[in-house]
């Protein structure tokens, strides 16, 4: 499989309500359609620098409704990994062999004290890993991924992809600059050989790191959603 690129929507400003953004049932705002004349920018396939400490495998605990928490509020000193068994190919040819990313959404929850980014997949839920890294780097060239803030989270999925058989991007995406109090932005960081990764840029109020929470759900349309929640302060 050859490296593929994940397109990003640029030049769009997210308008936030005074109290909270309008969100759907899984707590993230629907992706806004691009404005007239807006073009999509592409990023170089990338991967984050692996942490020196081993991954921490977590188990899921059920919560209300269809949601379940897979990593409770904590600061992951080692990457938190949630494992799902995915039999490949997930669909026979000419279908896509891996879970396919179809949407990224963001939502702010001031009353509940967190901001959220969700990743929705067509097909089974892939395994995923989330952890703090000093810097997110591109694959191969080793160039730093541009992210706002002072702390960075690596979010990685496997097996998963964000492109179709023609190499076109499959996901509806929000603007890269989020601008919530602590969750400031996100960026694609790699879509290569079944590994799909992203970087999140955070701005903790006093430096350092922030507690995060991970969760899963299945939407009424059958897509499987992974959420990353970040404390607002």
Q: What is the pLDDT of residues 123-172, one digit of tens each?
A: 999 999 999 999 987 765 677 899 999 999 999 999 999 999 999 999 99
Taking alpha carbons only, the member of 35, 37, 40 closest to residue 13 is 35
pLDDT tens for each residue of 57-66: 443 333 334 7
Return mean pLDDT, the chain. 79
Average of per-residue pLDDT across 216-233: 95
More confident of the two residues 206 and 130:
130
Residue 29: the pLDDT is 81
Residue 128: the pLDDT is 98
Integer Cα distance of 72 and 50 in angstroms: 22
More confident of the two residues 208 and 141:
208
Integer Cα distance of 208 and 206 in angstroms: 7
């Amino acid at each position: 499989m050859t490296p593929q690129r994940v397109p990003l929507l640029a030049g769009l400003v997210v308008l936030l309500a005074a109290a909270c953004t309008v969100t759907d049932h899984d707590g993230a705002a629907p992706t806004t359609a691009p404005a007239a004349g807006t073009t999509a920018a592409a990023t170089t396939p990338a991967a984050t620098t692996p942490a020196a400490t081993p991954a921490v495998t977590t188990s899921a605990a059920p919560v209300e409704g269809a949601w379940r928490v897979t990593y409770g509020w904590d600061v992951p000193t080692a990457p938190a990994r949630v494992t799902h068994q995915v039999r490949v190919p997930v669909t026979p040819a000419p279908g896509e062999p891996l879970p396919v990313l179809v949407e990224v959404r963001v939502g702010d929850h001031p009353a509940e004290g967190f901001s959220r980014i969700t990743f929705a997949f067509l097909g089974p839920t892939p395994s995923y890993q989330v952890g703090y890294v000093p810097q997110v780097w591109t694959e191969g060239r080793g160039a730093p991924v541009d992210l706002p803030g002072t702390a960075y989270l690596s979010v990685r999925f496997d097996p998963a992809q964000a492109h179709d058989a023609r190499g076109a991007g499959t996901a509806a995406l929000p603007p890269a600059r989020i601008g919530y109090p602590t969750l400031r932005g996100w960026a694609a960081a790699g879509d290569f050989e079944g590994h799909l990764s992203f970087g999140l840029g955070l701005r903790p109020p006093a430096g350092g790191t922030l507690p995060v929470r991970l969760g899963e759900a299945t939407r009424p349309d059958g897509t499987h959603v992974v959420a990353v929640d970040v404390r607002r302060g």
